Structure 1
Amino acid sequence: MDTRHDSFHGSEDKRDSVGFTDPPSSPLSSVPGDFESQQVPLDLQNMFMPGSPVFHRESSLPSVSSSAAVGTIRVASPENALFESTLFVRRSERKRKTPRYLEPDDTADISQPETPETPERPVKQRKTSQPRKARNSRGKNLATASTSHVDDSSVSPEEVKEPVSNTEQTEMSKIIKIKVNPERLGQVLGSIPPSPSAALPSPEPVPQTSPDSEPNVSLPASQPALDAVEHDLIALSLAVTKKVAIAQKPLPRGQPEIWAENRHTLCESLTGLYASWQGSYYGKSGVAKAFMLDGNGHVRDHLDENVIILRASGSMAKDGDNGMKQREDQEPNHQYHAMVNAITQQSPLAVICGDKNSQVSSKMPHKYNSLDWYKATHVWTERDRFNVIKYRLEKLNSDTAAWWVPADFEPVIELGALGSPLKQHCDSCSNEYDQIYLCGWLCLNSKCEKFWCLPDGNTPDAAQLIYDPRFLKQKTPWANEQAPINFRFSLYTTSAIAGEDYKAENLRGMTCPECGKCNARIKWEGWECTGCGFEHKPKMTPLPAASIQDQNYPVTDAYPSSHDSALPHVKISVKFSHNYRWITYKFKVSATEEGEVVHGIANKVVREEVQGPNEMWEDLQTNCHGLVRRELSNALMNSFTINYGMPYKFIAAGDSLPFTDAPWPVTEAVSRLNWADRITSGNAVKDKEKFNELYLVAYLQDQSMNYHDDGEKGLGSTVATLSLGARAEMGFRPKSFFFHGMKSIDYNRKRMTVMTKDEPLPEFPNYELRKQYLVEIRDANLSEGEEKQRLAEMATALRAAYPPKQSCTKVEDWVRLSLGHGDIVIMRGAHLQKYYEHGVTPKGLMRYALTCRTVLPGHLKESELPDYEVDLVQDDYDGSRIAK
């Protein structure tokens, strides 16, 4: 309960002859003397009484104890103050005897001096409570009621003067009477200049709205006579929460500390602070860390100069072409508990705003913009069609100016100026909550039988849910309100320790110290800001070959051991030559064809050979320039790459360089891999399809290559790779559609899963059933639509045939290679790349993979052909120096 709500006894509501109340005889609040400065006109008190046009039913008002409290509204500058008077709180003096919703007729007697200027207000008749299901759709529109006028001539004196029994209880809200600066409020609400002689126009009725649409509640578009008018809390709330279309928003008065043009540069630059590549929420170790506020916000989300209210992320699904829509209740999950931890631990959150956010008061200058550090203050659940979890965030340091407000911005009300909001305990679950909306206090416990119910048992309509400005503008003190770090991280500086330069934490993006733009590290040499041109290229310390030797995998002059593995049906053969252990793995790629993977494991002799793996490794670290991360559709490749010889786009397109511009380890690798292909294929004659392209990939710590194939059209049937540096795991497996016999397709604008018509292998699941289905399809003579429908039915039957705990999507590696420094891998087979895929996961600080292919004539378009001569340069490696 608010500490200002100290009760007093024996106070009496006395009115003088001119319609003003006398102040109580004793002070009640933590601000002594406020009563002496408070004078509230009688007719304005009536605006907030039950039955007045401000509230559509008296039961919407939360109950309070028999006492009164006062406080003072604080403004930033008196000469431009929106609010000029103090506040006065009055409570009912009648004790609550029985629940109001059980009484069939509940009225209130409001005595007033009868004056022509202050007509008597009608009293709303109490309705009998109905079952909750029937009540959900019968609420009134609070905004309409609060801004419309009542025709007093239609109300009989009997209705106004109806007596009130001693046992009857009347619930009254905590009332705030505010004198409004008309010019300032007119600016806030977009009104025309005030005219003292004009009368307030009657507003148009506000239609009912669905939970998915924004409540259509607002004050009249123009209010000519606002000077000297006492305005209610609804007007204040609408002024604070007023929204403007993004296209009509003004520019902000400042610039963000950091900004980004896309999501991946933002996440890479803010690693450890915000790394949510798709969602809006980011947490770590059970504590919330950051939020991204962009599109798909909740209808009652709010963002002003100090306070943010937002919906928890999740429980959304695509809604055709209309974006995302909530499809189920939001339940307290890890994100909910992480927010609670952030509150209890007083752990600040970083907030980033996108240019699609409709709540922010200005047009965002960039795609993504850092706002500030915030403190989480409230977590609660409310109800639309589904349960929605909401959060309230408050600017960590409200004394600092918000850069995102317009240049001519002046606050409607300062943070903390209205004091604490109403608090009340639920008489069912005993939980205490703030009053969030002006329609009345609500229990926010989704497990409680009175969840989201007003005091009379009704549920509020969407249009009634106007924020209580006391809740919005409350100030929450924290023990420490200093930002933990700056959004602009310090630049990486080189380390004298070999290998430190290649650790993942030193390879994140850069928040430019000049312009604040977030930049991913695209070039191997260092960082470059694409916003202002700032460059940061520290000199990296090379990692010597001796330091990459893993003691868990000892290597000597003897033939090395194998650390590979394969499933039982894979055929394995081994031979030894030139200080390599050559292991060949063969498996079927069709009923009549086999593919093979050859792993050449190098020993110490191979590694230390002249111009061998050790020398190649050390030279590449200092002399290989031009390595970049290639662009994908919505991100960057994880590793750094460069292409030599014939152009090759792989996953992402990139520039190619002639072999004449390559460092010597590149041309040496081409020669060695051609040699390895010859001696392991059984063909001593040089292959006519010699490798004419090399794709160099540099993997740093924690960088990997997901499962993919090298089966682009126009390539030869053999692919070979030389591995240098840290150990890596390389896995081979059938593609899921080939292995399980199912794939997703789009047909007639519908997404459907169908059985594939590929011939299964005996090692595949449901082999006999798939064979039977293939015979049926081939002999059925169905139309295209009928065939697709039958294949979809077959896919459903295949899924049902799997054992309960067996996945119908995952595929196990058939072969897993443990690649060491100097090892060679060769993949052969025309259909190997079509039906199988491979992935690589490095285990150490750094690794180079030099992969050769044969780009066949006619594969490239004329516009894609290189403007240089593709010369293989040298092809004279014969392995004589390592022969054994």
Structure 2
Amino acid sequence: MALFQQANGSPLPSHGMNEALRTPVHEATVWQPSSAMSSFSTTEAVETLIESVLSQKSSRKRKRPTRSVTEELEDILPSSPIPTPTPSRRHRFDYSPSPSPLPSPSTASEESSYEKETCKKSDVLLLPVKASTFNRALRVMSGLPVASRAARQAERREKPRERPPVWAESRQELCEALPYYRSFQSGLYMHSKVTFGYLLEAFPAPRDAWASNGRVIISHGGGQCICPKLPNGKQGPPVLQADQSRSDARVDALLTAAERRTPIVLIAGEGYKELPWNLDCAYVVLGWYWISYTWVEAEPAYKGTKPPSGRDYFHRIKIRFDWVGSQGDPWWDSEIPVSPLPVNQLSSTPRRPCRISSSKEAAEMIATFDGFTCPTCDSQSPRIYIEGPICVHPSCPAFFLLLTPLGLLPIPPTFTLTLCPSFLLPQKTPEGVNRLPYEVGPPGPVEDWPEADEGGLGGAGEKTLWRGWVCSECGRANCRYRWEVWECQACGNSTAQLNASHQVPLCRLTDLRDTFLGDAAMRHSTGLSASLTVSRELGAVVAIYELPEAGKIYHIMPFDKEYATELFYEYQREATSKPWFQRRSLKSTTVKGSLLAQHFAFNSGVPYKYIVDTLSTPFDESPACVTKAVERITSSVATVLGEEYQFNEILSVCYREGQKMGYHDDGEPGLGPVVASLSLGSSAIMSFRPKPGEKQRGNTDVALNITLSHGDFMIMEGHEIQRKYHHRVVPQGFRIAATARRISEPPAKPDIQVKAGVDAEDTGEVEYDDVVESCLGPDLSRPVLDPSRYSSKELPQLPPLRSISDHTLLPRRTPIQHPYPYQPP
């Protein structure tokens, strides 16, 4: 919306410095010049003052004595008061970025038809001066303080003596270890419209602040932002492309938290520029905060964005967070470690923070600040900015206009607003907010796990067993990357070791059910055909699905599954005896830090160009259950296909509850035409879908779904299946799968190629295929080392581990007791 309006009430166009501003306001309300200025028109005053500022700069260059701009202004303005005349027109001010001629006709032709209809040359004052010069003159005219750079932001402090209660090196560690923050891509974590965690990271907004040594934090609502491309091709800072409003669920959750005084855990990332010290890790948990005030600012519309009709700015929601006093002093500002509050153990689902008792109290302004009454809308607003009172109510005609001795003035985009020191003073924590629902450091894993998945307490296959944990020794938030134990990747501390008694009985798997011929579902429009046969030799029903011009899928459903049950228990015993099964590192451009796969894997035989960073163990060194699985798969394939097929590699994968493998193909170079697998434990739905064409956007529909039950075999025959189709496996519970392949030309060393990105649903599912391979780099962290395969002289030297507690380097445990993925600092 234009800054000023014409005499007929229609707004003037947006141009130059006014691109960011204004709602139309009534002249009688807004234009209230001081008595000293009343004998001059605004145009004359600005022209004269600008000449004074420019002459002052010129005199400074010639080293001649100069007078202050204020003194020049006193000579310009009459000293005797003159009655204030009734204005007949409001003028808007424009400037050029540097002394230059007036805009050319080509520039003027870019104005919209709306601007052409409402603009007259007499309505606009074009000032061929720099924006900084005009802003300085405007400050002098309005009696405003000289703009100062925020020294508060530039000030750097010494690193805290105390380590944070919780810290992490990746986004995944936060999401898996902390129940109050499980958002892989959003800065806000909410559940059922309740805000639990808020991340301070990159993507700042104007006037974000770290005040009172972190006891007051000014931030903003999320969403509606883009990062435009700069002329040099680089990505620019985030700008709004639409209003932030309550219609956005994230903004609504924050505003609701302010109304209800819901305490929120704040997390800071190393990209948070307001932090007065440099982090030695990727993320730290700051502590509990409450929202004491929210308001709306007018943010200029960036070139290429389209603001709402009638104005040239967007609404930006600003949030003020205050430290919850019952925690004591913040850990970074205290000589004594913060004492944890006694709470019950956290479940895998965060609890709702307690609400305040009075809804009337929630509707009132949460904190009392030095404020003023807007002369236009008679509403109360706090004094937020040093430059003067500004109404922050969007419904007010004078919204975000600066109240000065000259009256209400628009704020140019380059005009610096500074937060008022009194507004940044800490507020007293309300009594209801002091009752915090839980600690920021969740309790560690329980030593004695029940044998089955009952009541959400966690059996050997339940999701609570593969979620992350916070190390009690160093505070590091860790992902559960080893099957048999929780181990800290920073200090090596381990807990809750599983043993042979921690097994999931087959009878306790609630999703263990019989299917009718695999419960297959086909999309006939894709040209699939199916047939059934009974193999007396195998004692099984075999369903055959032919994919047009690709190959065949064989689903073998044996009648006798005793051998499968024995393998199921033997795999579990071996998994707890040594660190065979681990979650390996992927790489994603959409998630900060390392990203572990959503399954525990162990590869045997020749090296395999797998999607994750893994090593292979020879068959003669692998557990007996692996060789037994290879023998069973080889026998079944020979019976069904009618020819011997020798596999030289097998990948064993354990899925706990909630884990899965996204769409992918097995089309790695050197792979044979036959891929076969054995399913153990809970059933799983295996899906096939055609790969999208080169010009096709989005994913194709699923062509075939089959349900793999306990003891079932699956065979894919044909190279073209991997070239033309993707497949995925979604277990319905605790499941173990063994997939055998024939690799003709194994590489000399693992050539890891990442083909992964984070699922759009932020569930942590990883999808990988040849289509997105070019989007991500091929470099991964170095492979996990197996000390049994190296002599002491050959063992590569890794960089020392970093400690955040004392900001020094810790010696790595020698010798390496267990292989585990290590991400260098």
Normalised by the length of structure 2, the TM-score is 0.65
Please give the alpha-carbon distance, in whole angstroms, between the structure 2 residues aligned to 1:346 and 1:652: 44
Alignment of 1:459-498 (within 5 A): 459-461=410-412, 462-473=414-425, 475-480=427-432, 481-493=434-446, 494-498=448-452
Secondary structure of the corresponding residue to residue 265 of structure 2: strand
Give 1:274's match in structure 2, choosing from 181, 184, 194. Answer: 181
C-alpha deviations, 1:585-610, integer Å up to 9, x for none? 1022xxxx34111111233xx212xx
Please give the alpha-carbon distance, in whole angstroms, between the structure 2 residues aligned to 1:483 and 1:216: 48
Contact kept? 1:629, 1:640, Cα under 8 Å: yes
Give 1:572's match in structure 2, choosing from 496, 505, 530. Answer: 530
Tell me the residue number matched to 1:621.
Answer: 572
Give 2:748's match in structure 1, choosing from 847, 858, 861. Answer: 861
Following TM superposition, by how much is the alpha carbon of 1:282 offset from its aligned partner in structure 2, in angstroms? 1.8
Structure with higher Rg: it is 1
Tell me the residue number matched to 1:658.
Answer: 618
Please give the alpha-carbon distance, in whole angstroms, between the structure 2 residues aligned to 1:453 and 1:838: 58
Q: CA 1:98–1:715 in 2, change beyond 3 Å: closer, same or farther?
A: closer
Tell me the residue number matched to 1:823.
Answer: 712
Q: How many residues align?
A: 590
Residue 316 of structure 1 pairs with residue 247 of structure 2: no
Amino acid of the structure 2 residue aligned with 1:861:
A
Amino acid of the structure 2 residue aligned with 1:840:
V
Between 707-716 and 645-654, report the one with greater CA deviation: 645-654
Tell me the residue number matched to 2:364.
Answer: none
Secondary structure of the corresponding residue to residue 379 of structure 1: strand
C-alpha deviations, 1:511-556, integer Å up to 9, x for none? 11111111111110121112222111333621112223647x347x
Secondary structure of the corresponding residue to residue 320 of structure 2: strand
Alignment of 1:464-613 (within 5 A): 464-473=416-425, 475-480=427-432, 481-493=434-446, 494-499=448-453, 500-501=458-459, 502-539=461-498, 541-548=502-509, 550=511, 553-554=513-514, 561-568=517-524, 569-577=527-535, 578-588=538-548, 593-603=549-559, 606-608=560-562, 612-613=563-564
Residue 385 of structure 1 pairs with residue 265 of structure 2: no
Amino acid of the structure 2 residue aligned with 1:838:
H
Please give the alpha-carbon distance, in whole angstroms, between the structure 1 residues aligned to 2:618 and 2:421: 68
RMSD: 3.8
Amino acid of the structure 2 residue aligned with 1:664:
A
Contact kept? 2:38, 2:83, Cα under 8 Å: no
Following TM superposition, by how much is the alpha carbon of 1:165 offset from its aligned partner in structure 2, in angstroms? 7.6
Amino acid of the structure 1 residue aligned with 2:244:
E
Following TM superposition, by how much is the alpha carbon of 1:398 offset from its aligned partner in structure 2, in angstroms? 7.7
Q: CA 1:268–1:324 in 2, change beyond 3 Å: closer, same or farther?
A: farther
Tell me the residue number matched to 2:14.
Answer: none
Secondary structure of the corresponding residue to residue 508 of structure 1: coil
Following TM superposition, by how much is the alpha carbon of 1:716 offset from its aligned partner in structure 2, in angstroms? 0.1
Please give the alpha-carbon distance, in whole angstroms, between the structure 1 residues aligned to 2:27 and 2:206: 37
Contact kept? 1:512, 1:534, Cα under 8 Å: yes
Between 498-507 and 569-578, report the one with greater CA deviation: 498-507
Give 1:162's match in structure 2, choosing from 58, 81, 89. Answer: 81
Tell me the residue number matched to 1:325.
Answer: 238
Following TM superposition, by how much is the alpha carbon of 1:330 offset from its aligned partner in structure 2, in angstroms? 3.3
Contact kept? 2:165, 2:441, Cα under 8 Å: yes
Please give the alpha-carbon distance, in whole angstroms, between the structure 1 residues aligned to 2:567 and 2:77: 102
Please give the alpha-carbon distance, in whole angstroms, between the structure 2 residues aligned to 1:278 and 1:554: 39
5+ unaligned residues in a row in structure 2: which ranges?
Answer: 1-25, 57-66, 88-128, 302-313, 336-366, 588-593, 753-785, 790-825
C-alpha deviations, 1:296-325, integer Å up to 9, x for none? 312311012211111222212353424542
Secondary structure of the corresponding residue to residue 290 of structure 1: strand
C-alpha deviations, 1:730-784, integer Å up to 9, x for none? 10010123xxx416xxxxxxxxxxxxxxxxxxxxxxxxxxxxxxxxxxxxxxxxx
Please give the alpha-carbon distance, in whole angstroms, between the structure 2 residues aligned to 1:595 and 1:129: 81
Please give the alpha-carbon distance, in whole angstroms, between the structure 1 residues aligned to 2:136 and 2:491: 44
Amino acid of the structure 2 residue aligned with 1:829:
G
Please give the alpha-carbon distance, in whole angstroms, between the structure 2 residues aligned to 1:600 and 1:249: 66
Following TM superposition, by how much is the alpha carbon of 1:127 offset from its aligned partner in structure 2, in angstroms? 7.3
Following TM superposition, by how much is the alpha carbon of 1:638 offset from its aligned partner in structure 2, in angstroms? 0.7
Following TM superposition, by how much is the alpha carbon of 1:405 offset from its aligned partner in structure 2, in angstroms? 5.3
Q: CA 1:233–1:363 in 2, change beyond 3 Å: closer, same or farther?
A: farther
Amino acid of the structure 1 residue aligned with 2:242:
D
Following TM superposition, by how much is the alpha carbon of 1:862 offset from its aligned partner in structure 2, in angstroms? 6.8
Please give the alpha-carbon distance, in whole angstroms, between the structure 2 residues aligned to 1:511 and 1:309: 28
Residue 686 of structure 1 pairs with residue 686 of structure 2: no
Tell me the residue number matched to 2:172.
Answer: 264
C-alpha deviations, 1:32-71, integer Å up to 9, x for none? xxxxxxxxxxxxxxxxxxxxxxxxxxxxxxxxxxxxxxxx
Please give the alpha-carbon distance, in whole angstroms, between the structure 1 residues aligned to 2:543 and 2:42: 82
Q: CA 1:829–1:157 in 2, change beyond 3 Å: closer, same or farther?
A: closer
Contact kept? 2:195, 2:257, Cα under 8 Å: yes
Q: CA 1:728–1:153 in 2, change beyond 3 Å: closer, same or farther?
A: closer
Contact kept? 1:488, 1:512, Cα under 8 Å: no
Tell me the residue number matched to 1:414.
Answer: none
C-alpha deviations, 1:114-134, integer Å up to 9, x for none? xxxxxxxxx55587689xxx9
Give 1:732's match in structure 2, choosing from 688, 692, 708. Answer: 688
Q: CA 1:126–1:638 in 2, change beyond 3 Å: closer, same or farther?
A: farther
Please give the alpha-carbon distance, in whole angstroms, between the structure 1 residues aligned to 2:136 and 2:166: 35
Following TM superposition, by how much is the alpha carbon of 1:707 offset from its aligned partner in structure 2, in angstroms? 0.2
Please give the alpha-carbon distance, in whole angstroms, between the structure 2 residues aligned to 1:153 and 1:520: 66
Please give the alpha-carbon distance, in whole angstroms, between the structure 1 residues aligned to 2:77 and 2:543: 103
Please give the alpha-carbon distance, in whole angstroms, between the structure 1 residues aligned to 2:571 and 2:613: 23
Contact kept? 2:647, 2:741, Cα under 8 Å: yes
C-alpha deviations, 1:84-105, integer Å up to 9, x for none? xxxxxxxxxxxxx9946345x5
Contact kept? 2:680, 2:710, Cα under 8 Å: yes
Tell me the residue number matched to 2:196.
Answer: 289
Between 317-326 and 301-310, report the one with greater CA deviation: 317-326
Tell me the residue number matched to 1:361.
Answer: 276
Please give the alpha-carbon distance, in whole angstroms, between the structure 1 residues aligned to 2:484 and 2:327: 42
Secondary structure of the corresponding residue to residue 279 of structure 2: coil
Q: CA 1:571–1:488 in 2, change beyond 3 Å: closer, same or farther?
A: same
Give 1:251's match in structure 2, choosing from 140, 146, 159. Answer: 159
Residue 106 of structure 1 pairs with residue 31 of structure 2: no
Alignment of 1:368-407 (within 5 A): 368-386=283-301, 387=314, 388-397=316-325, 400-404=328-332
5+ unaligned residues in a row in structure 1: which ranges?
Answer: 1-96, 108-122, 169-205, 220-231, 408-417, 744-807, 869-884
Secondary structure of the corresponding residue to residue 319 of structure 2: strand
Q: CA 1:128–1:454 in 2, change beyond 3 Å: closer, same or farther?
A: farther
Secondary structure of the corresponding residue to residue 519 of structure 2: coil
Contact kept? 2:691, 2:699, Cα under 8 Å: no
Amino acid of the structure 2 residue aligned with 1:380:
W
Please give the alpha-carbon distance, in whole angstroms, between the structure 2 residues aligned to 1:620 and 1:658: 17
Following TM superposition, by how much is the alpha carbon of 1:427 offset from its aligned partner in structure 2, in angstroms? 3.5
Between 290-299 and 149-158, report the one with greater CA deviation: 149-158
Following TM superposition, by how much is the alpha carbon of 1:454 offset from its aligned partner in structure 2, in angstroms? 2.8
Tell me the residue number matched to 1:424.
Answer: 373
Please give the alpha-carbon distance, in whole angstroms, between the structure 1 residues aligned to 2:217 and 2:180: 19
Amino acid of the structure 1 residue aligned with 2:444:
L
Amino acid of the structure 2 residue aligned with 1:101:
V
C-alpha deviations, 1:317-361, integer Å up to 9, x for none? 353424542151332111111011111222111111122322122
Contact kept? 2:664, 2:728, Cα under 8 Å: yes
Amino acid of the structure 2 residue aligned with 1:261:
E
Normalised by the length of structure 1, the TM-score is 0.61
Secondary structure of the corresponding residue to residue 318 of structure 2: strand
Identity of aligned residues (%): 26
Contact kept? 2:677, 2:740, Cα under 8 Å: yes
Secondary structure of the corresponding residue to residue 618 of structure 1: helix
C-alpha deviations, 1:200-245, integer Å up to 9, x for none? xxxxxx98469xxxx999x9xxxxxxxxxxxx9969x969862227
Amino acid of the structure 1 residue aligned with 2:506:
A
Following TM superposition, by how much is the alpha carbon of 1:158 offset from its aligned partner in structure 2, in angstroms? 8.5
Q: CA 1:323–1:717 in 2, change beyond 3 Å: closer, same or farther?
A: farther
Amino acid of the structure 2 residue aligned with 1:301:
D
